[in-house]
Chain A
Amino acid sequence: MTDDTTNTDDEPRTDGGGTGIVAPDDETPTWRERKERTEGLSRLTYEYFERARSEDESLRRESDYVERDVLAFPTWPHETVRNLALTSFFVGMIIFLSATLPPHIGNPANPNSTPAIILPDWYLYWSFGLLKLGPLNPELAILGGQKLMADRTYGVLTNGVVVGAIAIVPFINKGSARRPVEQPFWAAVGMFGVTLAFTLSMLSVKNLMPMNVDLLFDLTFLVPPIVAAITYAVLKTMREGYMYDLNRRYYRLRPPK
């Protein structure tokens, strides 16, 4: 019986035995396969997902990551209780603040009397400070010393510049460095930004600052680069020792082959 079958598969007989249907070889697609191949985009998507998943799995299999042999902290009660404790602590902080430092309400709105000091909330001070950059608005010689745009427009547009500068950071700075010490330059840029936000906030309340306004204006743009330079220098110095420690720890765990 077994012999017979092998025989049939190897060479189709001409004596009318069997059904006469020649089984397709491996290369010939079955009708089902042909149908599936013509199903187009959905089929492609499906195949891609299959591939991507198997790729993921083989990556995981090859990686030297250690799978845990026990389940981690159980969600209930350990993790939940811990989260609830943290949550109550934070909410408690908010309630404590609101009980001890209640808000103030000023005089009712009066369109006829402009108050001496107009300020937004503290978190908008930096933006408010940008409105006071009038002296930096360039006067163009070709316009006969006129300004291209009003000081106010200039101030509003600088907001866009600031937001744009923050937005493009991840497209410029790539790689896997996480610590400020690994990239002193970018940490310095960050400190520049933070300090600039702070000095701009100071500039926005210049009426209240016990300081010469011109000096304040100059300091607004002098302090950030200085802070950035100090950050850079400090981190650059720290980097040597820090990276040495880190590498030693790393190589002890994974000695180079």
Chain B
Amino acid sequence: MSLEKKDEYDHKNWLESKDLTPVEATFLTALIWVDKRLRIVDYLELLESLYYRSNLQMPKSHTEQYDLDNKFWYWYALYTLGFFSTLAYVVAAISGALLGFYYVPAVGSAGPGEASIAYSQIAFIMRDLQFGFMLRSIHRWSAQVMTAAVFLHMLRVYFTGAYKEPRELNWLLGIVLISLTMVFGYSGYLLPWDQLAFWAGQIGVEMSLSIPLIGEWVAQLLFGGFSLSQATLQRMYILHVFLLPFVVTALIALHIGIVWVQGIAEPH
């Protein structure tokens, strides 16, 4: 008995006997190497079963069984609003990541007698940066489209009764998501630090302050104080580019996952 490890399955001999092309040999060697360490074969099996499951023969849906498509086809455009808002979210995320390379959340003056750094960075993006104007435009419009699509999606769900019995939780999750979308929009609205942003922020502070009991905490937490300052912009920035993206992305995934599990609520 030796302490030397044995190739129990004799992969080496097997490989030689197969007379493989270099590409195949490299692939198999790499696969065996990784599999010996991570047992990926187990996960491949999982993937395989997932693959077959997704191609299962599903039972005919209600509309198919009763041949109702000719009665409902004009509603189906409304059923894509959820997808549309997700898509707009992805576009906003990509363009926002690019904008993030140039934006600086600072209210300090960019120079003597000049506007804030945040504002002048936006001005830089819009004036000097190649494609910057379009980039900001895309970001803004995808955000607008996402919000609009989310609102219309909610109306579709309401008027087609898709929120009913097994789907209450997803309706509640949708309410959370639509609220977070509006917070997303609001925090983004403040970032350019122009007049509208500043005074919208002022209203936000006043609104939080007028919440009974916890108003001052909320104002401190969201706006970093009772009046607008560097802290406000910083917090809105972190909300907009760090906190909300994680939370909203996770919740969207959950939202869609639940739809996947429960199936589309078809019209009857």
B133 touches A102 (CB 8 A): yes
Nearest CB of chain A from residue B137's CB, rounded to whole Å: 4
Nearest CB of chain A from residue B229's CB, rounded to whole Å: 10
Stretch of B32-40, B191-199, B236-244, B248-256 that contacts chain A: B191-199
- B-facing residues in A105-125 (Cβ within 8 Å): 105-111, 113-115, 118-124
B268 touches A65 (CB 8 A): no
Number of residue pairs A-B, CB distance < 8 angstroms: 192
Of chain B, the residue at the smallest CB distance from A64 is B65
A115 touches B199 (CB 8 A): yes
A91 touches B87 (CB 8 A): yes
Is B216's CB within 8 Å of the partner chain A? no
A153 touches B159 (CB 8 A): no
Of chain A, the residue at the smallest CB distance from B227 is A111
Nearest CB of chain A from residue B123's CB, rounded to whole Å: 7
Report the interface size class on chain A.
35 or more
Cβ contacts under 8 Å, B186 to chain A: 120-121, 124
- In the bound complex, how far is the Cα of B142 from the Cα of A76, in angstroms? 28
A68 touches B60 (CB 8 A): yes
Cβ contacts under 8 Å, A118 to chain B: 196, 199-200, 202-203
Cβ contacts under 8 Å, B203 to chain A: 118, 120, 128, 131
Nearest CB of chain B from residue A192's CB, rounded to whole Å: 11
Cβ contacts under 8 Å, B57 to chain A: 67-68, 71-72
Of chain A, the residue at the smallest CB distance from B60 is A66
Stretch of B3-11, B16-24, B205-213 that contacts chain A: B205-213
Of chain B, the residue at the smallest CB distance from A193 is B158
Is B266's CB within 8 Å of the partner chain A? yes
B185 touches A121 (CB 8 A): yes
Cβ contacts under 8 Å, A65 to chain B: 59-60, 65
B134 touches A163 (CB 8 A): no
Is B235's CB within 8 Å of the partner chain A? no
B164 touches A174 (CB 8 A): yes
Interface centre among B147, B171, B198 (most CB of A within 10 A): B198
Nearest CB of chain B from residue A53's CB, rounded to whole Å: 14
Interface 1/0 per residue, A181-200 and B, CB below 8 Å: 01100110010001000000
Is B67's CB within 8 Å of the partner chain A? yes
Of chain B, the residue at the smallest CB distance from A154 is B210
Nearest CB of chain A from residue B258's CB, rounded to whole Å: 13
A108 touches B161 (CB 8 A): no
- A-facing residues in B174-193 (Cβ within 8 Å): 175, 179, 182, 185-186, 189, 192-193
A176 touches B164 (CB 8 A): yes
Interface centre among B58, B88, B141, B265 (most CB of A within 10 A): B141
- In the bound complex, how far is the Cα of B60 from the Cα of A94, in angstroms? 35
- In the bound complex, how far is the Cα of B70 from the Cα of A249, in angstroms? 12
Cβ contacts under 8 Å, B80 to chain A: 86
Is B234's CB within 8 Å of the partner chain A? no
A94 touches B145 (CB 8 A): yes
Among A155, A186, A253, point to the contact of B66 (Cβ < 8 A). Answer: A253
B66 touches A250 (CB 8 A): yes
Cβ contacts under 8 Å, B142 to chain A: 94, 98
Nearest CB of chain B from residue A153's CB, rounded to whole Å: 4
- In the bound complex, how far is the Cα of B126 from the Cα of A87, in angstroms? 27
Is B25's CB within 8 Å of the partner chain A? no
- A-facing residues in B51-71 (Cβ within 8 Å): 54-55, 57-60, 65-68, 71
- In the bound complex, how far is the Cα of B108 from the Cα of A92, in angstroms? 38
- In the bound complex, how far is the Cα of B192 from the Cα of A110, in angstroms? 13
A106 touches B158 (CB 8 A): no
Among B66, B140, B194, point to the contact of A107 (Cβ < 8 A). Answer: B194
Is B148's CB within 8 Å of the partner chain A? yes
Question: Given the interface contacts A68-B57, A105-B192, does A90 sit within 8 Å of B168 by beta carbon?
Answer: no
Residues of A at under 8 Å CB distance from B? Answer: 60, 63, 65-68, 71-72, 75, 86-87, 90-91, 93-95, 97-99, 101-103, 105-111, 113-115, 118-124, 127-128, 131, 149-150, 152-153, 155-157, 163, 166-167, 169-171, 173-180, 182-183, 186-187, 190, 194, 246, 249-250, 253-254
The 5 closest A-B pairs by CB, nearest first: A108-B115, A109-B198, A98-B137, A65-B59, A170-B168
